Amino acid sequence: MIITFGTQKGGVGKTTLAIAFANYISLFTDKKINVIDYDFQKSFHQKWKDDEGISGDYLYKVVLLSEEDEKDLQNPQTMQSLKKSEEIFLFDIAGNIEKKYSSVLMHSDYIIVPFSYSDVTINSTMVFINLCKLLKLTSGLYFVRNQIDKSAKYINQPEMDIELSKHGTLLQNSVYKRNCLQTITTKKLSGEQKLAVKNVFDELIYNIWES
């Protein structure tokens, strides 16, 4: 199975959300989780390396791709083998869309798209959606409201929700701004962090495993 976290716009908490999701599903599945950091910023892998000095065991391994590995991802047979595997392959791809990411997107079983309601994020999310349409993806797009301020009123929310719902599954739950998520590690999910993402990830997992 291939699950990809992707979006056109950086700064929406994509990698933090991907770390939280990898941690969360590791608590509920016996399947091996393989994280591939395919983002040029390498934030997921750097966080994984930084966590080496803290107590506890890693929940999964995070790998970077060599040039040879990247070429191999362009091979449909390689990607099909990942899709058919009993293991979970979680890709964190870059916030800018390059041609090399097309193969991962085209072969993903599920694509998680974090977004917020800022005008810049909305425009970039639509750019990402249009790219996915050009690629004629068969995978499902799952839109996650992330870093949402509970006290804020987003004027463009009704219109944006309607538009996103035309292109994939807009999760009903949201991930709200929580300071605890800024201290997340790749070795554990604290009780407070788990509560911060539980509703969204339970809904997401239900959609994935029941689809």
CATH number at residue 96: 3.40.50.300
At residue 96 the predicted structure's pLDDT band, cuts being 50, 70 and 90, is low
Structure-token pair, residue 138: 């068969």
- Apex CA 156: angle with CA 155 and CA 160, to 5°? 150
Model pLDDT, residue 170: 97
At residue 97 the predicted structure's pLDDT band, cuts being 50, 70 and 90, is low
Q: Residue 56 is part of which domain span?
A: 2-210
Stated pTM of the model = 0.94
Model pLDDT, residue 95: 65
- CA 109 – CA 124 distance, rounded (Å): 22
- CA 94 – CA 111 distance, rounded (Å): 13
Model pLDDT, residue 24: 97
> Mean pLDDT over residues 168-173, rounded?
96
Hey, what amino acid is at 149? Answer: D
Q: Please answer whether residues 73 and 79 qualify as being in contact, where contact means their C-beta atoms are separated by less than 8 angstroms.
A: yes
Which has more confidence, 111 or 211?
111
**pLDDT, tens digit (0-9, with 9 covering 90-100), for 30-79:** 999 999 999 989 999 999 999 999 999 999 999 999 999 999 999 999 99
Closest CA to 73 of 86, 82, 63: 82
When divided into structural domains, the chain yields a total of: 1
